[in-house]
Amino acid sequence: GAGVSQSPRYKVAKRGQDVALRCDPISGHVSLFWYQQALGQGPEFLTYFQNEAQLDKSGLPSDRFFAERPEGSVSTLKIQRTQQEDSAVYLCASSIRDRGAYEQYFGPGTRLTVT
Amino acid sequence: EDKVVQSPLSLVVHEGDTVTLNCSYEVTNFRSLLWYKQEKKAPTFLFMLTSSGIEKKSGRLSSILDKKELFSILNITATQTGDSAIYLCAVEVWGSGTYKYIFGTGTRLKVLA
């Protein structure tokens, strides 16, 4: 594929609903990151995968947030019992190497609105 | 706690002006500093800086890193309306065998015709 893709692009959820956000990284990219970007803010790190291993989940704001990448390619970010403060753009990025110092490529994001 | 601070938060200039955007950081285990341009969608990569004092240049954009004073600047000369965007600075940090990027809040640049 040409780049990182994310789906859905927009999601409206009622408070308390569960949502699942999908990220398709660039084929062959080892590293995958999830970020949360609130309006007027920079992206905030949520979690990092190296292949299928979730090496860092220190940025996940609560235990309602869960991410997986079971086969080392596609990743899903799940938010349970959504709250209004979860409203944000969720960005996924991938990078070819596992040791940084390489550019990360961003997807277009999923804009989540919790009503 | 790792911190990346960008200034100014927003800036309005006229076409043809030169702008300088600032990014300062306080992090442990610094590896690199990156600049991104974000219009309506995904941030797009501009520069990666790892060494002090070496200017990176791409057309009207240039950037330099000072690892002693812990900051970087992004210069845009002869600005055009298409430069209007949010400019994000991110610092790559290492720890416990893994790495991540800490982003600043961004500088919102508006270039008027």
Tens of pLDDT along B44-57?
Answer: 999 999 989 899 99
**Any idea which architecture B3-106 has in CATH?**
Sandwich (2.60)
- Nearest CB neighbour to B98, from listed A35, A48, A106: A48
Nearest chain B residue to A33 by CA distance is: B100
pLDDT tens readout for residues A94-104: 998 766 557 78
A5-114 has CATH 3.40.350.10 classification: no
Instruction: Annotate B2-28 with DSSP letters as a single string.
Output: -EEEEE-SEEEEETT--EEEEEEEE-S
pLDDT tens readout for residues A10-24: 999 999 999 999 999
Q: Which residues of B48-64 are buried (b: 16+ CB within 10 A; e: fewer)?
A: bbeeeeeebeeeebebb
pLDDT at res. A87: 97
B37 CB-side CA count, 13 A: 13
pLDDT surpassing 60 at residue B37? yes
How far is Cα B91 from Cα A38, in angstroms, rounded to an integer? 19
Nearest chain A residue to B51 by CA distance is: A101
To the nearest whole Å, the CA of A41 is away from the closest chain B CA by 5
